[in-house]
Amino acid sequence: MNELVVDRRDDGVVVLTLNRPDRRNSMTDGMTEQWRQTIAGLRRDRDVRCVVVTGAGSAFCSGGDLSWLAERGAEGVPELRDRMLGFYRTWLAIADLEVPTIAAVNGAAVGAGLCLALACDLVYAAEEAKLLVPFTSLGLHPGMAATYLLPRVAGVGVAREMLLTGRAMRGAEAATAGLVTRAFPGESLMTEVLGIASRTAANAPIATRLTKVALAGGGHADLDAALRWESLAQPVTMTSQDMIEGLSAQRERRDPRFGNS
Ligand SMILES: C/C=C/C(=O)SCCNC(=O)CCNC(=O)[C@H](O)C(C)(C)COP(=O)(O)OP(=O)(O)OC[C@H]1O[C@@H](n2cnc3c(N)ncnc32)[C@H](O)[C@@H]1OP(=O)(O)O
């Protein structure tokens, strides 16, 4: 079975659907390998302007496959360390894509599954989606950069409560807490997300990529760093064909048609 469905749309948006609905899209070795190949392909593809990740069926992603954790053999810490590092890096490679990435959290996002969503630039959740990181209740230390992503996205207070108590949030509360960008009623989530993705994909590619670089790691550390970066990056876009097109489109009151230059 294809555990990762890739849908390339005409508007430059690629939708990746985790596809193991009967196991709530938990991450198996097979799905992880498909993810690795797909993300590597998307990195090289200049026609891609925005990537959306979602889950098939009722869940977004229930995290690491529990049967793998239960059945693991005689591997010791060094072997497991290598294995886990490879697993984390493969999934979090979505954060290395130069184009904007969006998680459409259609249902439960648990453990590594929530971390995958938080590694995206924008996270839209169904109001009823259940979000939690119950590592310690499973006897596990957090993984998949949970101890980086949660405090970074929602602040250390939210991270502490979610990681130490295992408390679940619904999408609506997660939006209020700043853990997700916005919540929508479940039935309209995909329509809303595809609209946002399409509009994002239509923006000037070079300006968008540079903006993403500027915001990586939570934005610049100080005002001077921001000014030094912007006084270089903005002139790069000022000399681009895209800016000429953007200004013409605004003058002519039409939608811009950006290339890649
Ligand atoms: C290294 C990484 C570590 C981590 O990521 S730690 C976190 C691990 N994940 C979890 O602890 C999540 C466990 N799953 C759940 O809490 C629930 O599921 C959900 C909230 C995601 C969804 O609930 P509902 O819709 O009621 O489904 P259901 O009846 O619990 O599950 C349906 C089938 O899916 C299997 N399943 C669910 N999650 C996983 C998983 N993570 N790995 C493997 N199988 C999973 C179940 O066992 C069951 O199977 P059957 O129909 O045969 O009873």
- On average, the pLDDT of the chain sits at 96
Q: Rounded to an integer, what distance in angstroms lies between the CA atom of residue 61 and that of residue 103?
A: 11
Cα-to-centroid distance, 193 and ligand 1 (Å): 25
Res 68: pLDDT: 84
Compute the distance between CA of residue 230 and CA of residue 236 in angstroms, rounded to an integer: 9
101 and 213, same structural domain? no
Distance from Cα 88 to the centre of ligand 1, integer Å: 19
Query: Is 261 within the bounds of a domain?
Result: no
Q: What is the pLDDT of residues 239-249, one digit of tens each?
A: 999 999 999 99
108 C-beta closer than 6 A to ligand 1: yes
The verdict on 106 and 233 lying in the same domain is: no
Is the model more confident about 70 or about 232? 232
Residue 144 sits in a domain whose CATH number is 3.90.226.10
User: 134 CB under 6 A from ligand 1?
Assistant: yes
Over residues 135-145, the mean pLDDT reads 97
Q: What is the pLDDT of residue 74?
A: 80
Q: What is the pLDDT of residues 251-261, one digit of tens each?
A: 999 999 998 65
Residue matched to tokens 């679940």: 168
Q: State the distance from the centre of ligand 1 to the C-alpha of 24, rounded, in angstroms.
A: 6
**Can you tell me which atom of ligand 1 is nearest the CA of 23?**
34
Which residue has the least CA distance to atom 3 on ligand 1? Answer: 64
Compute the distance between CA of residue 242 and CA of residue 260 in angstroms, rounded to an integer: 8
Q: Is the CB of 67 under 6 A from ligand 1?
A: yes
Nearest Cα residue to 168 out of 126, 114, 117: 114
* 58 pocket-lining for ligand 1 (C-beta < 6 Å): yes
Q: Decide: 60 in ligand 1 pocket, CB within 6 A.
A: no
CA of 23 to the centre of ligand 1 (A): 6
The count of domains in the chain is 2
CA of 181 to the centre of ligand 1 (A): 25
Cβ 58 vs Cβ 18: under 8 Å: no
- On the question of pLDDT at 195 being above 90, the answer is yes
User: Is the same domain home to 39 and 18?
Assistant: yes
Report the separation in Å between the CA atom of 86 and the middle of ligand 1, taken as the mean of its atom positions.
Answer: 22
- Verify whether ligand 1 is closer than 6 Å to residue 91 (CB atom): no
pLDDT tier, 1 (very low <50, low <70, confident <90, very high otherwise): confident
Using a 6 Å cutoff on CB, does residue 23 contact ligand 1?
yes
For residues 224 and 138, membership in a common domain is answered with no
Q: Is 27 in contact with 91 (CB distance < 8 Å)?
A: yes
**Ligand 1 close to Cβ of residue 143 (< 6 A):** yes
* Mean pLDDT computed over 145-165: 97
Q: Is the CB of 137 under 6 A from ligand 1?
A: no
Give residue 157's Cα distance to chain centre: 22
Q: Are residues 164 and 233 in the same domain?
A: no
Indicate whether 113 belongs to any domain.
yes
Q: Which two tokens stand for residue 105?
A: 């959290």
Q: Does some domain include residue 114?
A: yes
The CA distance from 116 to 141, in Å, is: 17
Does residue 101 share a domain with residue 210?
Answer: no
The range of the structural domain enclosing residue 247 comes to: 204-252
